[in-house]
């Protein structure tokens, strides 16, 4: 069993206190160097008790979900406000052209919007530490002529006004005077991608992290070439103000880098999207519209407290929603139950789709109850799903390895690395349950997370339409040309 090492966690608390002390000392030193009549930028935030953060609406930044505000940037900003001990106020904008002047006019304390640190922006703003790196991709529709470089563009190219994409195109135009494009304030990146799909637009440019999300929904989005090398993503602060707030930002990112919070958040939003398989994505969307409706009611009935779409995603990963599926290891049915598990759950026929789904839902719920209470969601859920694949014993071995190696045994981002180690003799010979194909469990969880994301999106697109009435365009008939990342 994994046990909590009191000294380890105590050291963690001491580190946080030391960092807070350094922050206070830094604030005092900066305040002493400034005109006594002028408060520092950090002092103003602390005195007001409010951190005003500007951002933009989007999948990777900020949007209102079913339970309230969500988004990678939102969660980072929320953590910074808690670090400072102040209330967070988020001001979302529809365009960067609206957002940047608010920071310049000191109506905002900082911008957290997944913006890249371009040379032009560096002249106007100060930036905190880089917490992601992305590249800009030229996107076209699968099956169209593949543009290999900027000189081969032959059609309409539109990007959002004020974006780093516009800046990159201006740099290209210095060597290619024939290059032309349009900029828009009326459409965001997601809308431009939809115009490419509908063939109302030939090309657009999008950051690689956003494209990774969008291709799970629209697999026909193809990459022509990289418009830019990888660029840093960072928060922006006002260049005219003192550096006290920037120093606090640097301290905060140093803290969440060292304690694993940043890695966990990055994994939560992007960790399962590293790989893209065009054929698999097309086939999944097709099956979700044509096969899933027959079994949807049973997934809803037997998911218990879980989202039925998660149980459906697991079933697709297990059997591709084939009730007669049988593996070489003897597991069977929609949820691929072992004979022992079926007997334990009271399932008489593993090949009966309703019984299989009922058994799979009950087994996942049972695994969730057996995961230690201190492990929070969504890590708790990823652990249970991994255990469904590899077993609780091997999962526990991976958690033990994580603790031995100074990582956090309660965070999926750390434990999944140790699951990979269960294939290596020098590690598995020290564990209770020995060798395991832990890499398969990691892939298993990532695939289910991708399928789940897509099912949520598909469900949201047709909230009032019976699933059987949803018709999928025959995307699988499109040419299977491969695009280079």
Residue 483 in domain: no
Residue 478 has a pLDDT of 38
- Reported as a pLDDT band with limits 50, 70 and 90, residue 58 is confident
Indicate whether 442 pLDDT > 70: yes
Q: What is the mean pLDDT of residues 6-23?
A: 42
Which of 15-19, 47-51, 241-245, 339-343 bottoms out in mean pLDDT, i.e. has the lowest?
15-19
Sign for the pseudo-dihedral over CA of 466, 454, 361, 374: negative
Same domain assignment for residues 311 and 363: yes
Phi, psi of 197 (to 5 degrees): -65, -35
Per-residue pLDDT at 277 = 83
d(C-alpha 96, C-alpha 125), whole Å: 14
pLDDT of residue 463: 52
Q: Is residue 309 part of a domain?
A: yes
> Is residue 290 domain-shared with residue 266, that is, in the same domain?
no
Same domain, 258 and 401: no
Same domain, yes or no, for 127 and 158? no
In three-state form (DSSP H/G/I as H, E/B as E, the rest C), the secondary structure along the chain is: CCCCCHHHHHHHHHHHHHHHHHHHHHHHHHHHHCCCCCCCHHHHHHHHCEEEEEEEEECCCEEEECCEEECHHHHHHHHHHHHHCCEEEEEEECCHHHHHHHHHCCCCCEECCCCECCHHHHHHEEECCCCEEECEEEEEECCCCCCCCHHHCCCCEEEECCCHHHHHHHHHHCCCCCCCCEEECCCCHHHHHHHHHCCCCCEEEEEHHHHHHHHHHCCCEEEEEECCCCEEECCEEECCCCCHHHHHHHHHHHHHHHCCHHHHHHHHHHHHHCCCCHHHHHHHHHHHHHCHHHCHHHHHHHCCCCCHHHHHHHHHHHHCCCCCCECCCCCECCCCECHHHHHHHCCCCCCCHHHHHHHHHHHHHHHHHHCCCCCCCCHHHHHHHHHHHHCHHHHHHHHHHHHHCCCCCCCHHHHHHHHHHCCCHHHHCCCCCCCCCHHHHHHHHHHHHHHHHHHHHHHHHCCCCCHHHCCCCCHHHCCCCCCCC
pLDDT at 309: 97
485 is a domain residue: no
The verdict on residue 484 lying in a domain is no
Tell whether 99 is covered by a domain. yes
Quote the domain boundaries for residue 310: 278-477
**Sequence-separated (6 or more) residues with CB below 8 Å from residue 246:** 41, 126, 128, 237
In terms of domains, do 435 and 313 share one? yes
219 and 284 fall within a common domain? no
Q: pLDDT band at 25, cuts 50/70/90?
A: very low
% of the chain exceeding 70 in pLDDT: 87
CA distances from 243 to 78, 199, 246, 255, 353 (A): 21, 47, 5, 18, 62
Centroid of chain to Cα 237? 25
Residue 399 maps to which CATH number? 1.10.530.10
Last residue within a domain, chosen from 170, 198, 228: 228
Q: What pLDDT is stored for residue 12 in this prediction?
A: 44
Compute φ and ψ for 221, nearest 5 degrees.
-75, 120
Q: Collect all residues with Cβ–Cβ distance below 8 Å to 104 and sequence separation of at least 6.
A: 124, 238
The least confident of 13-22, 115-124, 257-266 is: 13-22
Shared domain for 417 and 337, answered yes or no, is: yes
pLDDT, average across residues 461-474: 45
Looking at the structure, tell me whether residues 417 and 431 fall in a common domain.
yes
Selecting among 73, 136, 220, 318, the annotated active-site residue is: 318
Q: In degrees rounded to 5, what are phi and psi of residue 439?
A: -65, -35
- Based on the fold, state whether residues 101 and 176 are members of the same structural domain: no
- Residue indicated by tokens 């339409």: 465
pLDDT band at 467 (very low <50, low <70, confident <90, very high): very low
Per-residue pLDDT tens digits for 127-169: 999 999 999 999 999 999 999 999 899 999 999 988 889 889 9
Residue 78 placed within a domain: yes
Residues 238 and 311 in one domain: no
Mean pLDDT, the chain, whole residue set = 86
- Decide if pLDDT at 29 tops 60: no
Give the CATH number of the domain where residue 14 resides: 3.40.190.10
Does residue 20 share a domain with residue 143? no
Q: Is residue 345 part of a domain?
A: yes
pTM surpassing 0.85?
no
Confidence of residue 330 (pLDDT cuts 50, 70, 90): confident
Q: Does a cis peptide bond (omega within 30 degrees of 0) precede residue 378?
A: yes
pLDDT score of 1 = 52
Pairing status of strand 87-93 against strand 50-56? parallel
Look at residue 1 and tell me if it is in a domain.
Answer: no
Question: Are 62 and 74 spatial neighbours (Cβ–Cβ below 8 Å)?
Answer: yes
- What average pLDDT score do residues 434-443 get? 94
Q: Are residues 268 and 216 in the same domain?
A: no
Residues 324-342 have a mean pLDDT of 90
CA separation for the pair 194, 205 (Å, rounded): 12
User: Each residue of 97-137: pLDDT tens digit?
Assistant: 889 999 999 999 999 999 999 888 999 999 999 999 999 99
Please give the Cα distance from 314 to 311 (Å, whole number): 5
Cβ atoms of 233 and 121 closer than 8 Å: no
Question: How many domains are contained in the chain?
Answer: 3
Question: Worst-scoring range by mean pLDDT, 112-116, 334-338, 470-474?
Answer: 470-474
Angle at 17 between CA 12 and CA 31, to 5 degrees: 145
Angle at CA of residue 132, ends 127 and 135, nearest 5°: 100
Active site residue 318: yes
């Amino acid at each position: 069993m994994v046990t909590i090492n009191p000294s380890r966690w105590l050291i963690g608390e001491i580190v946080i206190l030391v960092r807070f002390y350094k922050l206070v000392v830094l604030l005092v030193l900066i305040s002493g160097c400034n005109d006594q009549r002028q408060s520092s930028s950090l002092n103003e935030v602390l005195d007001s008790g409010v951190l005003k953060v500007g951002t933009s609406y989007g999948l990777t930044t900020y949007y209102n979900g079913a339970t309230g505000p969500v988004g990678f940037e939102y969660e980072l900003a929320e953590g910074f406000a808690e670090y400072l001990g102040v209330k967070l106020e988020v001001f979302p904008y529809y365009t960067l052209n609206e957002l940047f002047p608010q920071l310049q006019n000191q109506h905002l304390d900082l911008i957290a919007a997944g913006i890249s640190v371009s040379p032009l922006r560096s002249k106007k703003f100060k930036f905190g530490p880089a917490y992601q790196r992305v590249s800009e991709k030229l996107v076209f529709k699968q099956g169209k002529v593949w543009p290999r470089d900027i000189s081969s563009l032959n059609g309409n190219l539109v990007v959002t006004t004020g974006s780093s994409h516009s800046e990159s195109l201006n740099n290209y135009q210095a060597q290619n005077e024939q290059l032309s494009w349009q900029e828009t304030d009326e459409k965001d990146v997601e809308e431009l991608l939809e115009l490419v799909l509908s063939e109302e637009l030939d090309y657009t440019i999008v950051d690689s992290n956003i494209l990774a999300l969008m291709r799970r929904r629209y697999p026909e989005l193809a990459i022509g070439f990289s418009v830019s090398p990888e660029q840093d993503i960072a928060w922006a602060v006002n260049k005219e103000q003192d550096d006290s707030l920037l120093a606090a930002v640097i301290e905060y990112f140093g803290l969440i880098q060292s304690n694993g919070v940043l890695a966990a958040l990055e994994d939560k939003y992007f960790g399962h999207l590293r790989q893209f398989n065009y054929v698999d994505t097309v086939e999944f969307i097709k099956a979700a519209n044509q096969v899933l409706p027959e079994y949807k009611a049973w997934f809803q009935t037997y998911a218990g407290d879980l989202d039925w779409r998660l149980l459906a995603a697991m079933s697709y990963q297990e059997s591709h929603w084939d009730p007669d599926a049988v593996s070489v290891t003897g597991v069977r049915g929609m949820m691929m139950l072992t004979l022992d598990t079926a007997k334990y759950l009271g399932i008489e026929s593993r090949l009966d789709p309703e019984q299989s789904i009922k058994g799979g839902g009950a087994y996942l719920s049972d695994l969730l109850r057996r995961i230690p209470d201190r492990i929070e969601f969504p890590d708790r859920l990823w652990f249970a799903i991994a255990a469904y694949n590899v077993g609780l014993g091997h999962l526990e071995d991976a958690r033990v390895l994580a603790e031995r190696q100074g990582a956090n045994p309660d965070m999926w981002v750390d434990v999944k690395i140790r699951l990979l180690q269960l294939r290596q003799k020098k590690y598995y010979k020290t564990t209770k349950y020995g060798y395991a194909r832990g890499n398969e469990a990691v892939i298993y969880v990532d695939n289910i997370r991708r399928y789940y994301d897509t099912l949520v999106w598909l469900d949201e697109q047709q909230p009032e339409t019976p699933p059987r009435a949803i018709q999928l365009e025959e995307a699988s008939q499109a040419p299977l040309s491969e695009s280079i990342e």
